[in-house]
Amino acid sequence: MSDVSEQELRENFDHFDRNGDGKIELKEFAALLEGLDALEPGEDPQVGFQAIDSDGSGVVEFDEFVAWFQDR
């Protein structure tokens, strides 16, 4: 898993999982992108969110987050 450990990914995931439910919702995902300075002005975070939410559940779970990070 590149140079980032699963523990580091978990810490980042948990940091942006503001309500602590173990899932990242769209609002939290937008905050994650802003925190990483990865959101261009006028860009819709929902596009990236839907790409990461591989099961279409409306939230990003940790395994989806890890898979997305590994594919980057």
The answer to whether residue 22 is domain-embedded is yes
Radius of gyration of the chain (CA): 12
Query: What's the pLDDT score for residue 2?
Result: 56
The answer to whether residue 28 is domain-embedded is yes
The answer to whether residue 1 is domain-embedded is no
Q: Considering its fold, how many domains does the chain have in total?
A: 1
Per-residue pLDDT reduced to its tens digit, 7-65: 999 998 999 999 999 999 999 999 888 887 888 888 899 999 999 999 999 999 999 99
Report how far residue 23's alpha carbon sits from residue 72's, in angstroms, rounded to the nearest whole number.
20
CATH number for the domain spanning 66: value is 1.10.238.10
The answer to whether residue 62 is domain-embedded is yes
Boundaries of domain holding 46: 6-71
